[in-house]
Amino acid sequence: MSNMTNPIDLNGKVAVVTGAAGGIGKAIVSTLRRHGATVIGTDIRPCADQDPDFRILDVSNTEAIKAAAAEISSTYGGLHIWVNNAGMLHRVEAREITEATWARSIDVNLRSTVFACQAAAIEMEKHGGGAIVNLSSYAGLKARPNCIDYAVAKAGVDHATKCLALEFGALGIRVNCIAPGYIDTPMSGWMHEDPALKSEYLAKTPLRRLGTPEEIAMGVLYLVSPMSSFVTGHTVVIDGGIIHA
């Protein structure tokens, strides 16, 4: 039963957030902890904050994902929330993209998400269900230049979310997706290097600004909390309205 007396209470919940060393990842970890969850952050690089609940994890290594999910579930007495936030963006024209770049992007942005969902679901089923949130991108919903590998991978994440929601629903596991627009993080650093291009994109954004990591984190909070207890298989677009431009 959902706790509707306090629909954002995550006390007693164990959560995993991948890509936790980055801007959006850090905001998600902080937000979920603030609402009572025990949060284990993971990343391929060390966490500068010396977080004792942090794990080094290469999400492109499927066996490592499975091992991490099992270890965390055993160590913390369950696994209730999993956020697939890890990702990479390598801007390159379609005429110049290499097979190696394509393969790496699909591995990190799509394949890892599917197999992390699988690993999380195996553990969540043991404890009565849970909530998974995948991070895609508005680029997976609307064509963009110079990132065909990233855009195709994120489109795959969006559709995989719907497929997994259908299969996992009977297990009490909800699977949803967030598609961010342009967020003020190091991944969008290329915009700051080209003021004219940044102005162009902001002019197309109805809210006329970049989003913040905290705004994405609040979307995650909604999708993993009792506030969304009857929501699964959906993509929440948090982009300042640029997808409609």
User: Catalytic residues, which ones?
Assistant: 150
Q: What is the dihedral of CA 40, 49, 111, 12, to 10 degrees?
A: 20
Record the tokens describing residue 194, joined without a space.
């080209």
Q: Whole-angstrom Cα distance, residue 156 to residue 179?
A: 12
Q: Whole-angstrom Cα distance, residue 80 to residue 131?
A: 6
DSSP 143: -
54-56/173-180 β-pairing: unpaired
Q: Whole-angstrom Cα distance, residue 1 to residue 120?
A: 21
